[in-house]
Each structure stands twice: as C-alpha cells, then as structure tokens.
Structure 1
Amino acid sequence: MAVTTATTTAVAVLRDWRGWPTVLGSLWRRSLRFRTLAVTLLATSLAILITCVTMALVIQNDLFVSRKNQALEDARRAVDVAQSTLDVAEVGDDPAALADLWNTIQAGFAQNSNADQLTGIRIDADANGVRLNGFTAGLSASLLSDGLRARVVEFDDRQAWQSVALPVEGGGEVPGIIVGQQVVVPEAGPFEIYFAYDLSDADQTLVFVQRTLWIAGIGLVAIVAAISWIVLRTVSTPIIQAAETSARLASGDLAVRLEVHGEDELATLGRSFNAMADSIEAQIKELGELSMVQQRFVSDVSHELRTPLTTIRLAADMLNDQRADFDPVTARAAELMHAQVQRFETLLSDLLEISRYDAGSVQLELEATSLAHVAEDVIEQMRPLADGHGTELRLVAPGGYSPVDMDPRRVRRVLRNLIGNAIEHGEGRPIVVTVDSNQHAVAAGVRDFGLGMDPADAERVFDRFWRADPSRQRTIGGTGLGLSIALGDATLHGGTLSVWSELGAGTNFVLTLPRHGTTLDGPSPVSVEPQDSLAELGDATQPLSLTDVRREMLDGGEAP
C-alpha cells in the first residue's frame, strides 16, 4: 500500500512540469547513480559539443580557403593566358583587328576558367586610343564593391577578391566569390576583369559535414550514456545493496548479510561488512544474555532478600520500640538500625520495580484522575518533611482539574520523588509546584531555587545510582533509583519527564501526560525552562487548599 501511494504521488508530480525541479533535486541528493550519470553526461556532452563546433569551424575555414585558392589560381591562369595572347598579338592600328582580338580574349576567359559569371570594365573609358567596350557574362557590376574595384585599379599586378551572395535563377542566392585582376589591351589600355565562382557545392559539403558531426556527437553521447549506465550499474549496485543492508542492520535485523561475488574490492568490502555484522550480532547477543542474567539476578536477589529482611525489620521495630529502656549508646544503635532497615526495604522495592521495567512486565492501572488533586494530595503528604527542612511548598494550578486516564499510584510516586528531591536540594527556599493543561496534555512542574546543576549533569540526572555531587549526603534516605523509575513511569504513560537546571538558579522538572491516547501530539502546557525568578513570583504562588481548588472549579470551571 505504501509503495502504491508513493508511486501514485511520484506520477502526479511528474505530470506537473513544475514538480520536475523538486524530483531532480531529490534524485541529485539521494541517488549516487543519478548524480554520477548526470555529471558524466554533462561533461561528455560539453566535450563533444566543443569538439564538434571546433571541427566544424576548422573544416569550414579549410574548405573556404581551399575553394578560394582554387578560384584565385583559376582566375590567374585565365588572365595570364589572355595577357600573353595580347602581348604577342600584332594588330597595328587596325581597329577591326583589335576588336576581333578582344572578342577572342573574351571567349578565352570563359574557356580557360571555371568561372560561372564574368564581367570586364574599361578602367579609363575617356582615355585616347582605340575604343573598346567592356563586356558582361552574367555578372552584374552592382555586385562589385567599391573597395574591390579600388584594389583592382590600384594594384595592376595583383589579384583582389571578395565574398558575395550570387543571385541564381528563381530569385535565390548562393554563396560565391569574385576575383578581380587587370588586363592591359594594346592601343586601348587596362581593363578590370572579374570572375565569379559559385561556392554552393562547398556549402553543401559543409552542411553535410556538420550534420554528420552532430549525428556522430549525439551518437557518442548515447553510447557514453549506455556505457556509463552499465558501468555504474555494475559498480553502484553492490554499494546500494550495502547501503540497504546496513540500514536493515541498523533497524535491528541482525541476520541480514551481503552477497559476496568475486575477489575484487567490492567483494572485500562485502566480506568485511559481513564480518562486522557477525561481530555486532555476537556482541549484542552476549550483551542481551548478560542483561538477562543481570535482570534475573537482581530480581532473584531482591525476592530472596525479602524473607530475611522481613525478619530483620520485625526485630528492628521491636528494638526501636523498646529503645527507651536501653542505655543511650544502645538506643542510638537501635534507632540507626531501624532507619537503615527501612532504607534497605525501600531499595529492595526500587530494585524490584526496576527489574520489572527491564523485563517489560509493568502494567498500568488506569483511572480517570485529576492531576491537580493528585498534586494537592502529594503536597499535603510532603508538607511535614518540607517543614522539617524549613521549606515552603506552593501550588500554582490554573488547570489540570479535568480527569485524565492515568495510573494515580505511579503519578503520585513520580511527584513524591520530584518534590522530595526538591526539598533535599532546595536549600530551604520555596518550592513551586505548577499544574496546568491544554487540549493535548496535562502537566505538573516542580521548581526549586537551590544549587542547580550544569548542563552535563542535567543530561545524566535520570541515570541509575548517579548523583551530581558524590560528596553530598542524602538527607531523606534516597536510593538513587527514584528519577530512573519516575522516567519509566512517565514513558509508560506515553508522556515525558523533562528537566531544566542551572547552577545557582535551581532546577525544574516537568511531568507531561497525554490527554488522549498513548502519545503526545502537542506542546506541554508547562514550560520546562521557567520564565520567572523567585523574586518575581512574589505572592502569586500562595499554596491552595483542596477546598480552594474545588471552590474555583465550582465558580469558574476549567477549560479542557
């Protein structure tokens, strides 16, 4: 179902062109194969494009230079033949013989050259001498630029040329070149002779070469893409399999392994990965067995110590009840033994509770209970202890009266533990218990203004048997397991137990329980980091009695 949904979503995105950048960006970030193939194709396409363009320009230039040289050579040969004929001709002063010679020369231009069009123009038509007219054989004088004619007139022994677009029948134009040179006719003077050559065949050859280059370039890109895909598939498939296998191993599937083929580097990687997985699996199994042994040991020892501890407690209670009849030293010993037996019994109870959590055998007994009422009851229970330490307990409960499904025994234990720790470490300053609720959760915060802890100590405060200051003595008989059990109780409810602490500013614990279900889906109604100092609280945190709470509920109620 998940695969079908993802496929449908991908298809919908692909149908919308605006989703392409997102898809390509996702592929670029997540797919090594796509990223490598894209870079290879881009680099190859750029290299082939540069190569094809360079080759096309070189071929175009060479082809033009070759055709230009052929035209120049052809025109020079025709002019040389004509000039030689004119130089050896003996026409004297006979205009008719000169005209016949000029006509022969004109025919010779067409016969001795491969020019497609010709024209001849007398340079100085007004000069004295035999009058001979120019001629044209398809080449219009309008195609001759002033610069070309000026060069032909200025340099009588050199050729000049220019590229032009020659008109053809049907109104079209073809690329061409015009070559000009002087011819000196006896008794008539110099003439400008221009030969026009059609270069359309060269242009067709160039188009064919360019088309061939582009087809070859596109074919090369396709071939490189196919080769790259095959190579990448060969190389990246084992890498992808290794990534998927490592993800499965990280998720807890310890039996997964890589398939190893061959003796290359990838095969070495596969064997090393499998060896690592075997080692991890063996160590985890060993640690699991050790944990089971430890849990069983703690549970068995705790149960086994129950019977002798009961007997010892009865004896200690009897001696403690009769300590008035003993001498002072014996009476003090009986009193200390009674206190330590009680602490030992509490430690055994906590060890049994921890072993139940480790074994996963703890069950909640849910009841619809008001967290504000629970907090009020716990405060009343802890008030004698607080008075003994000179500490004032204050309750601030703007919410939390509506019943919520919870295990009241465990929640009371959490609050007793938090308030007891606050009394022990609060340095005699007031302790503020805040209860509030919102549409997602109910929460209770216990804030003291004692010594506090640094952030490193606050991160370890829920560790078993850990204390921020090992030199500090416990004054109310704690076992070192209370906060660990409290965190387990909060987690069992689907809630959280968070802590904020700062040296010299005190500590704030916040227990948050979900109002519906077993998971929190919103923020806690009580902030973990307190916003007010003790001086700013003033009289706003006066203790409320249960009667006051019920009166407020009757007067205003509580918004869920």
Structure 2
Amino acid sequence: MQFDWRSWLARLTHLWSSSLQFRTVAATVVLSSIAVGIIGSYVSFSIGTNLFDARRDQLLAASANANDAVQTLFNSTADQGGSTDVENAATDAFNLILRSNANASTTGTRIAILRSPDQPGPRVPADLASIPGRATELLVSPELRKAVAAAETKKSKVYWQSIAIPSATDPTATAPGLVIGSSVSLPGSGYYELYLIYDLSDSQQILDFVHSTLLIGGLALILLIGVVTWVIARLVVAPIRVAASTAEKLAAGQLEQRIPERGDDVVATLARSFNGMADSLQKQIVRLATLSQIQQRFVSDVSHELRTPLTTIRLAGDVLYDQRDTFPPATRRTAELLRTQVQRFEELLGDLLEMSRFDAGAVQLETEPTNLVRLVEETIEGLESLAATKGSELRLIAPGGYFEADVDSRRVRRILQNLLGNAIDHGEGHPIVVYIDSNETAVAIAVRDYGIGMTTASMERVFDRFWRADPSRQRTTGGTGLGLAISLEDAALHGGWLEVWSAPGQGSCFRLTLPRERDGHLTSSPLDLPPDELGADSREDDRA
C-alpha cells in the first residue's frame, strides 16, 4: 500500500488551522526540541572536549615519565661497552615501559623504540615494537616522526597526535587512539624515538554513554514538555470551546444557553461576563420579538378591520363614478380621484396583509408545472398598453430550453408585474427587454430597462419596504412601495434568487432565478447579470 503523503499533509494542515490546542502543543514541542538540541549539543561537546583533554594530559604525563625512565636507563650504560650491553639496555627499557603501563591500567598500549633516521654508525640496538612487523610503525605519521627527531633542538619534550587504530577482529572498524612520541639518546648509538600508542576506546565508551544518556534524557524531557503543554492547553482551550459552543447555540436561537461558572479566576470572570451579555441579549430579543408580534398583529387587524369600511367606500365611489357624466366638471374630477385612490388603498391593504403573512411565516406555496415562457407572454400582454403610454416597447427573448418549472404561478406573475411596472416607470421611454433562459436545474427571468438607473447606495436599499429612489418622481402604476419587498419574499419562498444590477444612465436589470423543481437547490443562474445585450438590438421579438 503506497503512502499518500499529500493526504496526510492536507490533514495536518487542516488540523493546524482548526485546532488551537494542536498548534500550541506542536509549537512548544518544536521550540523545546530546538532548545534541548542546542543545550544537549553544547553539553556533549563540552564533556567530550574535557574528557579528551583530561585523558590526553594524563597520557602526556605518563609518557614524559616513561621518557625520563628510559633516558636514565640508557645513561647508566654510558660507561659500559659492547653491543650486548646496548641491546640489553634497549630491551630493559622496553620491558620497563610495558610494566609501568600495565601498573597504570593502560591496557592495549603499544610501544615502539625506533632509531632516528639519517644517523651514522651501526643500527645497534635494533628497532623494538610491541607488535611484530610494521603494524605499529604505520600508526606513526611522518610528520610526527619529523617533529620527534628534531626534539633535541626544541623546548617541547613530547609530541602527540590523534589517530584511528584499526580493530584486530574487524578490518573495517577503528577505535580512537593517541600516539605520543619523544626523543631519547643512547650513548654510543645516537638518538632513538620512543612512541607510546594508547587506545582510547574506554574514553569513547564513556562519551558514548554520555551521548546516549543526553539523548534519552532529551527525548524524555521533550515528551514531558509536550504532555504538560497538552494538559495546560486543554485546561485553557476547554473553556474557550464551551464558550464557542454556547455562542453557536445562542446564534441558533437557544437563548437559554449559558456558560457554567466555576471559581473566581479569569475564565470564571469571562463566563460571568458572557452570561450577563447573553441575559441582556435575551431580554432585548424577547422584547423586540414581542413588539414585532404586536406590530404584525396590529397591521393584520387594522388591515382586516379596514376592509369593511373600505368596501363600503369603494361601492359608494363606484356609484358616483358611474354617474360622473351628470356631475359638474369639478365634481366629476373628484369622483374619478376618489375611485383611483380607493383602488390604491385596496392594493396597499392587500400588500400589508401579504407582508404580515410573510412576517408570521404563514405563507404556503401552491406549486404546479408551469410554462414560464407562456406566463411571461401573458404578463407582457397585460402591460403593453401601459408601456405604450410611456413610449416603451416590451420585447421578449427566449432562446429555448427547459422552460417548464414547478412554481406558484400566481406569485411568479406578481413578481413579473412588479418588475415590469418598475421598468416602465423608470425606463424613460426606451425599450424594455425580458430575457428568459434555463438549464436542467434552474430557470431565470431578467427584466432589463435602459432608463435612469440607480447608484450603488440605492441598489443596497431597493428591496426595503416603502423605500423609493426618488420620492418626488410620479409613478404611472401607482405602486405602494412594497412591490419589490414582496417580490423578494416570493422568490425566497421558492428557494430562488432575486438580484439587481444598475448603473446611473445605463438602466437597471432585475434577475429572478428559480429552481425547476420544488425544494431544488440553486448553484448558478442560466442568465448573466445583466444578460448579453446582443439579442436586444438584433431581435425585437423571439417568442417561443
């Protein structure tokens, strides 16, 4: 099974961005690891350096003592003659050094007594080494031999060099070592070089033990820091999670939710402050909800109560309007105005009742399969005479598609009437184009005018109740100021969108997008906002 590192990286990134506790623990562990690594490296380096220096100084002192002992032994043969005595003196010196190193517990020490090169006379005694052959001599570098050979002209008595000693059992393995050389003179035979090669494996074992101890201790310390940080972060983050959960429940409408208060620390103070804020908000929301219900009930009751006298006034007005030709001119005009204003009053009451139903959540959709192209055509036909009085031409562009949708035709017709009525009022006599298009999941209708347009501030308030961009502007359709607000509620009731685009001097465009099936979900609209204007110039009427 192949390891998917991208998936793990994505999960880790998500965990890092979503969990404060994880970020705190991870940052603490990383920073602690860096700090422990730096301190551990410094301690390891200091211990290693001090251990090597102490061992080196000890071996240098032992080598200097061995040099003195060998030189004393050689000087005692100064008055004796013959090669036998010289050979015996060299052998005695070699054995003396072996015994002294054995007593000093420097096991594994190698010894070599080598004649300095380029000296006249016979090579008596012969070179001596603790290991036969040239194995010992190969551990002594030419640079060290050159320095030891010139020792009699310098103040230094012994010279040293770090080396790697090959293992006797494994040719590829080596052990740290130290070779110390000094010069001695044998009367009658010249100068000889005394080399002591020490195996520092014991010191290396001590250093390795120190390293492993520091490593295990560092890892244990980092783990302990991580656990402590996790516990502390959990103690701190847990109240925050409780506060976040409580805030989400309050936002969802569960106004009775509160944070538990324990103790007198900062978290408890935060909980008390939060709960006090929640109490205040709950009181305000309950008060506003009560006022809203009273207002809704008042509007609904007033609207219902006004219907009876308004019906009487309308009947009386109709009687006067039917007999207007028998009245003097001023009285006839009064009868006409009375009938117009009574009709507008009836529309206002109807809109107020509809808005009160929306506010009370008592509106129900009555959907049925509807051909929206035919619905748009019927709406346009009903408003063509009104548009003609303003000099505007109504055009329909329907390129084809899935135009049948499961909608409440009465509400969709009301939306179209409101949008077309506004376009006629603000179209400045220019053509008004209605676009309709669809896809497999949605149907969109756009009403585009080329009138005065709106500013950005006006677009933000265009769906507000009773709001008008220009209160002094005369309306041809005699609207109540609630048309767009009701249209927005009708669109939302279908699960659709009602959006606006406008620019000063370029006109406005309202786009209604509805799902083709009831309870459908919208992801995009089949029409752009505003739609492509090519069809508005090249096709006056394209009715499906």
1:541 is paired with a residue whose SS is: coil
**Partner letter of residue 161 of structure 2?**
Q
Alignment of 1:236-255 (within 5 A): 236-255=237-256
What residue is the counterpart of 2:364 in the other structure?
363
TM superposition shift of 1:88: 5.7
What residue is the counterpart of 2:410 in the other structure?
409
What residue is the counterpart of 2:114 in the other structure?
121
TM superposition shift of 1:186: 1.9
Tell me, in whole angstroms, the C-alpha distance in 1 between the residues paired with 2:169 and 2:100. 28
Distance 1:150 1:539, change over 3 A: closer
Tell me, in whole angstroms, the C-alpha distance in 2 between the residues paired with 1:15 and 1:170. 42
What residue is the counterpart of 1:31 in the other structure?
19
Unaligned runs of 5+ in 2: none
2:77–2:86 CA contact under 8 A, matched in 1 = no
Distance 1:255 1:192, change over 3 A: same
Alignment of 1:134-149 (within 5 A): 134-138=127-131, 140-149=136-145
Tell me, in whole angstroms, the C-alpha distance in 1 between the residues paired with 2:77 and 2:16. 83
TM superposition shift of 1:371: 1.3
- In the superposition, the TM-score normalised over structure 1's length comes to 0.89
Distance 1:539 1:204, change over 3 A: closer
**Partner letter of residue 147 of structure 1?**
E
Tell me, in whole angstroms, the C-alpha distance in 2 between the residues paired with 1:444 and 1:85. 119
Identify the range of structure 1 (316-325 vs 154-163) with the bigger mean alpha-carbon deviation: 316-325
Distance 1:363 1:91, change over 3 A: same
Distance 1:496 1:124, change over 3 A: closer
Distance 1:175 1:426, change over 3 A: same
Structure 1 position 193 matched with structure 2 position 186: no
1:184–1:191 CA contact under 8 A, matched in 2 = yes
What residue is the counterpart of 2:64 in the other structure?
76
Alignment of 1:48-447 (within 5 A): 48-87=36-75, 91-93=79-81, 95-113=83-101, 114=104, 116-124=109-117, 126-128=119-121, 131-138=124-131, 140-156=136-152, 157-167=156-166, 169-171=168-170, 173-399=174-400, 403-447=404-448
Tell me, in whole angstroms, the C-alpha distance in 1 between the residues paired with 2:167 and 2:370. 103
What residue is the counterpart of 1:8 in the other structure?
none
C-alpha distance after superposition, 1:227-248 (max 9, x if no partner): 1111111111111221222222
Distance 1:525 1:91, change over 3 A: same
1:163 is paired with a residue whose SS is: strand
Distance 1:400 1:300, change over 3 A: farther
2:321–2:336 CA contact under 8 A, matched in 1 = yes
Unaligned runs of 5+ in 1: 1-11, 550-560
1:261–1:267 CA contact under 8 A, matched in 2 = yes
2:176–2:201 CA contact under 8 A, matched in 1 = yes
**Partner letter of residue 269 of structure 1?**
L
Tell me, in whole angstroms, the C-alpha distance in 1 between the residues paired with 2:222 and 2:538. 80
Tell me, in whole angstroms, the C-alpha distance in 2 between the residues paired with 1:129 and 1:377. 134
Distance 1:417 1:166, change over 3 A: closer
Structure 1 position 43 matched with structure 2 position 42: no
1:159–1:180 CA contact under 8 A, matched in 2 = yes
**Partner letter of residue 37 of structure 1?**
V
What residue is the counterpart of 1:556 in the other structure?
none
1:370–1:400 CA contact under 8 A, matched in 2 = no
C-alpha distance after superposition, 1:50-75 (max 9, x if no partner): 22222222211211111111111000
What residue is the counterpart of 2:464 in the other structure?
463
Identify the range of structure 1 (343-352 vs 101-110) with the bigger mean alpha-carbon deviation: 101-110
**Partner letter of residue 379 of structure 2?**
V
What residue is the counterpart of 1:541 in the other structure?
540
C-alpha distance after superposition, 1:109-168 (max 9, x if no partner): 333445622111122575248943332223722221100100001122521111223345
Identify the range of structure 1 (146-155 vs 405-414) with the bigger mean alpha-carbon deviation: 405-414
TM superposition shift of 1:338: 2.1
2:16–2:23 CA contact under 8 A, matched in 1 = yes
Tell me, in whole angstroms, the C-alpha distance in 2 between the residues paired with 1:39 and 1:195. 53
